[in-house]
Structure 1
Amino acid sequence: MNNNLCCRLRRLGAGGMVVLTLLVCSRSSAGQPNSQPTFTVVPLGVKGGLAEGNLSAYLVAAVGSPAYVCLDAGTVYGGVEKAVASQALTGAAGEIIRTSIKAYLISHAHLDHIAGLLLNAPDDTPKSIYGLPGCLRTIQSDYFNWRAWPNFGPGGTPPSLGKYQLRELVPGREIPVENTPLQVQTFVLSHGRPFQSAAFLVRSGRNYLLYLGDTGADAVEQTDNLRQLWQAVAPLVKARQLKGVFMEASYANSQPEKQLFGHLTPALLLRELGVLAQLAGPEAMRGLPVVVTHIKPTAGNEKDIRQQLREANTLQLRLVFPEQGQRLEL
């Protein structure tokens, strides 16, 4: 088995079916694997565009809690079905969406990060959508407008159905995620200047999970957004409180910088995490789980990205390549 992962076997029912849960080992203060997870993560979609049934969306809950927040929502229903089939979730897909997903955190309003939310809105229950102000304005004015889709928002083109409350996030301010035990702090990312995306630092107790929406590298985007993020989380890395980083690598290293469109390659991803290592210390980075997201599913791209990341992994990160519907514990 991949040495970046631990595993847990559970035997279910009289038929004796065995279910495998991937356990992305957290680290003790000595850098050794610690089997006590803090977060349950169910990937509903892991790809970056093209694969219509497998677009960015990750359910996250505190371990032992049935209350999930959905980080982005490119694919929802199809991903829940896959998770039910693998025993990562239990129940009917529609009921899970209505009752187990308590809120959405949307990094930006591109369709591959929000299509699943829109398509399932007619059958969903009232809940909140959290995002940066520009993201929420796009959702309300460009989607919930009775032209692209019925107005399930609280304002905009009447009649507003008010199923979703749009809750603006203030960068740097931590707030509770309603109906969950989780807290979230938001950071601004650059996704092809001047377009913004967001990173979400999710807290459960004293431990954290960091999810980055689509982002370009600081040098390419000519910003310092990622450096500011790394400065904020470096103390958590040092203290072994950061359980994992979800970060994109959309294209292989052969992609020209002028055609990245606000995305990362393996080389750029590792360069950025090298900045974090400078701030937190290389030893603190060793074994840090990095869940690689948003890989474009074009021919040969994923194979190249995996190989390039593994070959250049001098930081000794725990590289994790998530699979749709397969539960992770961090």
Structure 2
Amino acid sequence: MEIHSASAATNAGSVTRHLIDTFLITHPHLDHISGFIINTAGPPGARPKRLAGLPSTISAFKQHIFNNVIWPNLSDENNGAGLVTYMRLVEGGSPALGEGDGKGYLEISDGLGVKLFSVSHGHCIERHPHRGSSASSRYGSFDISAAAASPRGAPGSTAASGPPSLFRSSAASQEKESICVYDSSAYFIRDNATGREVLMFGDVEPDSVSLSPRNLGIWQAAAPRIANGNLAAIFIECSYDNSQTDDRLFGHLTPRYVIQEMEALATTVEIARQALPNLESTKKRKREAREASNGANGAGAAQGDDRPVSPKSTRPAKKGPSSTSGAEHSGIDTPHLATPTEEMSLDFEVSAAPIVQDPQFTNALRGLKVVIIHVKEKLVDGDAPRDTILAQLQEAEKEAQLGCEFIVSSSGQSFLL
């Protein structure tokens, strides 16, 4: 990247106009979107700004932000000005996109792919049907709260529109819809050339206190990426220090819960590492089968038999942990492996059953950087919250022995991963 001006503001404008293709929005809370909204009309560019996120996030922008009330409709939908175009992402990635290790990743700019997962960010204090993680209230970008006509959002209104089954009244459905969980997001961001990735969380709460725990699914997706050395860093929030009580978390993390989540991740990583030798054995058998197939083709031509030996005729590797430890697997402890292991799927299922956290996995997260973001300032005298949080994380790491490096981010900081 070339710097063309002595002015930081001019260079920032140039970067925004020419280098940034897409804005990945984790959730539509004001502290995460206000800067984007205010700067939508400037600096001007030759193409619309692309705003990507969950369908529910896009729906929130359409209904509550770019609606000619809170802000002019600067989008390219509903007769807007066309300065913003929406990208509704498929949760978990689309299997029709990409191939090989990049399967399911959407290329959002030259050389960068993303895969999105939803996570929980606390629950609404009102008891009403609402957008969120309840299966009965999720219909893509359709927002159930906009369809309900009664003041408390009770189903059954004749003025409401949407899927007919949405408004069938029953005690069970009303109870299920009485609690809503706010959706946030986590993004796997991948450099397509090297296979290197980072995992970026929006606001997120711990599984142990969530009404809709979903973090374990993220850790299961991250585990093979860490095991093969491709996932370099996790950016995750830690809004408060450990003095914050559970009833005042508001869908956020503290150091004690960051460690708890990292222990869950460490468990899945160890399982993934133990599975790697099995994958290597499968690769070896496939190579041998291909060589046998080539030999059979040559012999068959002489004998009039043109049927090749199919690699699928070889017995697949058994699922489950191998007796060989991950630490003994060659090269597994380097965080700088640039190229993904050949034929290795980054999304193989680690475990269908709930993971039992085991702190005995010493250094399971070796080489991984955990970058703390979204620290909330207290605006009082005393130690800065970021210093307190880092000290508490490092103290807990001495006992947990996870092996990861904790870093608390600061404004303007950059990372070479």
TM-score normalized by structure 1? Answer: 0.70
How far, CA to CA, are the matches of 1:179 and 1:228 in structure 2? Answer: 26
How far, CA to CA, are the matches of 2:77 and 2:63 in structure 1? Answer: 9
How far, CA to CA, are the matches of 1:180 and 1:127 in structure 2? Answer: 15
User: Cα 1:278–1:203, aligned 2, differ >3 Å: closer, same or farther?
Assistant: same
The correspondence for 1:308, drawn from 368, 392, 405, is 392
Partner SS for 2:26:
coil
Shift of 1:323: 2.0
Q: Which has the higher helix share?
A: 2
- Give the letter for the 1:99 counterpart: H
- Give the letter for the 2:411 counterpart: Q
How far, CA to CA, are the matches of 1:251 and 1:326 in structure 2? Answer: 20
Match of 1:218?
Answer: 207
Match of 1:119?
Answer: 38
How far, CA to CA, are the matches of 2:269 and 2:122 in structure 1? Answer: 27
Shift of 1:213: 0.5
How far, CA to CA, are the matches of 2:120 and 2:390 in structure 1? Answer: 24
How far, CA to CA, are the matches of 1:322 and 1:329 in structure 2? Answer: 13
How far, CA to CA, are the matches of 2:38 and 2:108 in structure 1? Answer: 22
The answer to whether structure 1 residue 319 and structure 2 residue 406 are counterparts is: yes
CA deviations 1:45-83 (Å, max 9, x no partner) are: xxxxxxxxxxxxxxxxxxxx79xxxxxxxxxxxxxx9xx
How far, CA to CA, are the matches of 1:209 and 1:302 in structure 2? Answer: 22
Residues 201, 208 of structure 1: 8 Å contact kept: yes
Q: How does 1:227-266 map to 2 (within 5 A)?
A: 227-266=216-255
Match of 2:82?
Answer: 162
- Give the letter for the 1:192 counterpart: G
Match of 2:114?
Answer: 184
Shift of 1:307: 1.1
CA deviations 1:211-239 (Å, max 9, x no partner) are: 01000001111333100110111011111
Shift of 1:210: 0.2
Residues 364, 402 of structure 2: 8 Å contact kept: no
Match of 1:273?
Answer: 262
The correspondence for 2:191, drawn from 190, 204, 228, is 204
- Give the letter for the 1:165 counterpart: T
The answer to whether structure 1 residue 105 and structure 2 residue 34 are counterparts is: no
How far, CA to CA, are the matches of 2:390 and 2:220 in structure 1? Answer: 27
Partner SS for 2:21:
strand
RMSD between superposed Cα atoms in Å: 2.1
The answer to whether structure 1 residue 128 and structure 2 residue 23 are counterparts is: no
Unaligned runs of 5+ in 2: 94-103, 124-180, 271-360
CA deviations 1:258-282 (Å, max 9, x no partner) are: 1101000000011001001011124
Q: Which has the higher strand share?
A: 1
The correspondence for 2:105, drawn from 171, 175, 179, is 175
Percent of residue pairs identical: 34
Residues 153, 161 of structure 1: 8 Å contact kept: yes
CA deviations 1:278-321 (Å, max 9, x no partner) are: 11124440231011000001134223211101111131211112
- Give the letter for the 2:184 counterpart: S
- Give the letter for the 2:245 counterpart: P
Residues 238, 375 of structure 2: 8 Å contact kept: yes
Q: How does 1:70-109 map to 2 (within 5 A)?
A: 92-109=11-28
* Higher Rg: 2
Q: Which has the higher contact order (CA 8 A, sep 6+)?
A: 1
How far, CA to CA, are the matches of 1:96 and 1:144 in structure 2? Answer: 24
Aligned pair count reads 245
Residues 237, 284 of structure 1: 8 Å contact kept: no
Unaligned runs of 5+ in 1: 1-64, 67-80
Shift of 1:240: 1.1
Segments ≥4 residues shifted beyond 6 Å: none
Partner SS for 2:41:
helix
How far, CA to CA, are the matches of 1:237 and 1:284 in structure 2? Answer: 9
